[in-house]
Amino acid sequence: MEYLSRHLTDPSSKKEFKHHPKCSKLKITHLSCADDLLLFSRGDPKAVGLLHDRFVLFTKTSGLQAKMAKSGAYFGDVDTSIRTIILQQLGYSQGDLPFRYLGIPLASKQLSLVQWQPLIEKIVSKFSSWTAKTLSYAAKVLKTIEAYCRSYIWSGANVITKRALMSWERMRLQLAAGDSSSLIPNSEIRLPLLKSA
């Protein structure tokens, strides 16, 4: 994408290239997200040609091709005769504005919250799946740590064993109460006694 970005930024340095009116201040020629690409220029055959030539060079170099069935040219306030020239030049079909991307309509007007809702729902569903996976993973990690601690206390080894003379909860309660007499009978493991104040 970095290579493609450099290729598509190059035409903006040429005098013949004219930016789209909404993109001229920041000199934006394209936007990319994942495997989607939007190209912007003034509705002028020379400007469109310069930008498209850079894209074609990228496709020849990388071997990546645009899917013609999913590609289109979109115009705003461009004369019909110029549109025809540009469409013949590109080989794309003409699309209608506003079109939808990630579920939201792309238009020059400010969108309402309702129009943003499909994108918001997609983001929230992603977060929800990450949260479930993360919590599940964290629970497994905690269980493993507890298993190592339990095994070390009862066997003195750094491996997880099934041996447990009494439940961890019962042992903790007895230690908190100061009663360690029946904790580990006939065992060589010595635990520090907790004395109540």
In tens, the pLDDT along 60-73 reads: 888 888 878 788 88
C-alpha distances out from residue 187 to 154, 182, 191, Å: 9, 11, 10
pLDDT (average), residues 12-34: 79
Counting the structural domains of the chain, the total is 1
Q: Is 94 helix (H, G, I), strand (E, B) or coil?
A: strand
Q: What is the pLDDT of residue 186?
A: 42
Question: 79-128: per-residue pLDDT in tens?
Answer: 889 889 988 888 888 888 777 777 777 776 787 888 888 888 888 887 77
Question: What range does the domain containing 77 cover?
Answer: 2-97
Residue 22 located in a structural domain: yes
Does residue 105 lie within any of the structural domains? no
52 in any annotated domain: yes
Whether residue 192 has pLDDT greater than 70:
no
Worst-scoring range by mean pLDDT, 46-55, 144-153, 177-186?
177-186
End-to-end, the C-alpha distance of the chain in Å comes to 67
Evaluated on CA atoms 108, 113, 119, 123, the torsion sign reads: positive
Q: What is the pTM of this model?
A: 0.52
Residue 184: pLDDT over 60:
no
Say how many CA atoms lie within 13 Å of 70 toward its Cβ: 9
Q: Is residue 150 part of a domain?
A: no
Q: Evaluate whether residue 47 is within a structural domain.
A: yes
Q: Cα dist. 106→72, 96, 100 in Å?
A: 14, 11, 6
Residue 157 in domain: no
